[in-house]
Chain A
Amino acid sequence: NAGVTQTPKFQVLKTGQSMTLQCAQDMNHEYMSWYRQDPGMGLRLIHYSVGAGITDQGEVPNGYNVSRSTTEDFPLRLLSAAPSQTSVYFCASSLYNSGNEQFFGPGTRLTVL
């Protein structure tokens, strides 16, 4: 099993550009989530999904969109990148909810100029 995979590993964007961060898992997990990691602020939840076709907002959803068309994939879209979105982004999955052990991807380091 590959576990949770994320692409790309690194990305540099200009302000106003859009892009999609990819996340996939092969463990048949129902719950998937996106976090951003910023120094001194820990991990903050952006969006999450409890199953295919169901998504909801987390703590810091503004500027991001998600969709969950399949159990395996949970892409995160930046609509119009801003320097404040410079961060490390982690995707995670777990069996039913975040009370189960969450398995994290390797992260995507995004810089917005």
Chain B
Amino acid sequence: AQRVTQPEKLLSVFKGAPVELKCNYSYSGSPELFWYVQYSRQRLQLLLRHISRESIKGFTADLNKGETSFHLKKPFAQEEDSAMYYCALIRSSARQLTFGSGTQLTVLP
């Protein structure tokens, strides 16, 4: 079965510092990976997906199949980035997303 691990429950960085939210997965096939974000008092929403290879709000994530990782990175964190971030995986043949346990990011002024 697939599994998504986010090792950090809480992460704090200062404004302007680089930030990296870790995500590791276990799946032997070719997964699709996503990052979802939940800002305070807002709905959970898609931030980015690896197949798009895009940068959203300055965030990027690269799929590393060798290390089975999909870490989310931003070179200069902003206070408005404070939120709960979830990494998620879907098997190529399946219809269900598997979510990690989430990382609460706090960007300090």
Contacts and interface: CB of A to CB of B under 8 A. Distances in A.
Given A40-B101, A42-B102, A31 B43 contact: no
Given A90-B44, A98-B90, A99-B90, A45 B97 contact: yes
A43 B86 contact: yes
Contacts of B100: 42
B30 interface: no
A71 to B, nearest CB: 16
Dominant SS among interface residues on chain B:
strand
B61 to A, nearest CB: 15
Given A42-B86, A98-B90, A104 B43 contact: yes
Interface in B66-101: 86, 90, 95-101
A106 B90 contact: no
Interface residues of A, number: 25
Given A40-B9, A42-B86, A42-B101, A102 B96 contact: no
Interface of A: 31, 33, 35, 40-45, 48, 50, 58-59, 90, 92, 97-99, 101-107
A102 B46 contact: yes
B50 to A, nearest CB: 11
Given A50-B95, A99-B32, 20 more contacts: A31-B95, A33-B96, A35-B99, A40-B9, A42-B6, A42-B86, A42-B99, A42-B100, A44-B99, A45-B98, A48-B95, A90-B44, A98-B90, A99-B90, A101-B46, A101-B49, A102-B36, A102-B46, A102-B97, A106-B43
